[in-house]
Amino acid sequence: MTTYGLQLPKFTFPVPDDRLFDHVATMATAADDSGFTSLWVMDHFYQLPGLGGADDKMLEGYTLLGALAARTKKVTLGTLVTGVTYRNPALLAKEVTTLDIISSGRAVLGIGAAWYDVEHEGLGVDFPPVGERMDRLEEAVQICRLMFTEELPTFEGRYYRIKEARNIPRPVQPGGPKIMIGGSGPKRTLRAVAKYADISNVFGSADTLRKNIEILHNHCADVGRDPSEIQITRLGSLFLARSADEAEQLRQGVAGAMGEEWAREAATFGDADSVAEQLRELVDAGAQELIFNLPLANDADDVTAAGEVLKKALA
């Protein structure tokens, strides 16, 4: 059975700031109770342009996940995904290990090469060229894996190093939290997945998904990795409507704001029946977990309603 996860990317709700966390927590617990198997937040410090922009609200990801770990019981918890530029990887490994302990073994390390240059400039975080960011990503995931699995690991890379690093207490999960690499870059990102990751989070329509999985499997063959060891997850936006006409109106509005390509590749529009058909196409293309954000959801009831649709569609 294909599982489904929830991403919470926005924090602009009709509640005062001192009640904001409780509001977000009710949405998280609704996901926990509605069959979602994973819960994700973004690792950004400015809100993204398409979701309100830099002047909108944004909560720091790992602080939020630690608090949500105490409110939830079943969902796995992670960022989708951490930018490698934001944290020393040894510190990141410690943060994710702490999350694993708080959650009794439900942490996932999601990581990628980072991309939001405006955020980096605003906060004074170095934003090196993409090639260097990819090099840093590969070093970072190796360090995190070592700190999850070895008692006193040492690693010497070009950009990062550890020497007999302590990570005490150890992660709850045997072998440590799973590592997800996010992104669909065919040359570097998917090859890094083949070499180092447990989970590959990709984007796109069913056709795009098939192409990316084929590329990933070719990289697995090159590096001697069994592709069945890597879980395929797909992130997208879900717009639930009450009718086909309403779904088409939503699609046109989103396409006008975000572009036709984004609406086609990254979003799903429809009522319960048409959504089920579209999700089956993604499953047939190779998605093992479908992760959705819900742009129209504003409270726990909206999350519960989406969970009911997804549970029926993916049964």
253-308 confidence digits (pLDDT tens):
999 989 999 999 999 999 988 999 999 999 999 999 999 999 999 999 999 999 99
CA nearest to 90, candidates 173, 152, 17, 28:
152
List pLDDT tens digits, range 241-255: 999 999 999 999 999
CA nearest to 268, candidates 284, 256, 280:
280
pLDDT of residue 179: 98
Evaluate whether 20 touches 11 at the Cβ level (below 8 Å): yes
CA nearest to 267, candidates 257, 312, 245:
257
Burial of 55 (0-12, 13-18, 19+ CB in 10 A): exposed
Q: How far apart are CA 72 and CA 80, in angstroms?
A: 18
Q: How far apart are CA 44 and CA 274, in angstroms?
A: 33
Strands (E), the chain: 3-8, 38-41, 76-79, 82-83, 108-112, 155-156, 161-162, 178-182, 199-202, 231-240, 267-270, 289-293
Cis peptide bond upstream of 153, omega within 30: no
pLDDT for residue 12 is more than 90: yes
CATH of the domain at 250: 3.20.20.30
Residues in the chain: 315
Tokens of 278: 């579209």
- DSSP 8-state class, residue 237: E
Q: Name the residue range of residue 179's domain.
A: 3-313
CA dist 81 → 44, 55, 59, 124, 281 (Å): 9, 21, 14, 20, 25
Evaluate whether 61 touches 79 at the Cβ level (below 8 Å): yes
In the chain, the number of structural domains is: 1
List pLDDT tens digits, range 279-294: 999 999 999 999 999 9
Letter for the amino acid at 313?
A: A
Tokens of 16: 């005062």
Tokens of 83: 């930018």
Kindly state the average pLDDT of the residues 182-196.
Answer: 97
pLDDT for residue 36 is more than 90: yes
pLDDT of residue 144: 98
Kindly state the average pLDDT of the residues 150-172.
Answer: 98
pLDDT for residue 50 is more than 90: no
Kindly state the average pLDDT of the residues 19-42.
Answer: 98
pLDDT of residue 1: 79
List pLDDT tens digits, range 99-152: 999 999 999 999 999 999 999 999 999 999 999 999 999 999 999 999 999 999
Phi, psi for 52 (deg, rounded to 5): 135, -20
Classify 214 as helix, strand or coil.
helix
Evaluate whether 266 touches 7 at the Cβ level (below 8 Å): no
CA nearest to 94, candidates 156, 144, 40, 164:
144
List pLDDT tens digits, range 79-98: 999 999 999 999 999 999 99
Kindly state the average pLDDT of the residues 188-195.
Answer: 98
Per-residue pLDDT band at 240 (split at 50, 70, 90): very high
Per-residue pLDDT band at 25 (split at 50, 70, 90): very high
pLDDT for residue 315 is more than 90: no
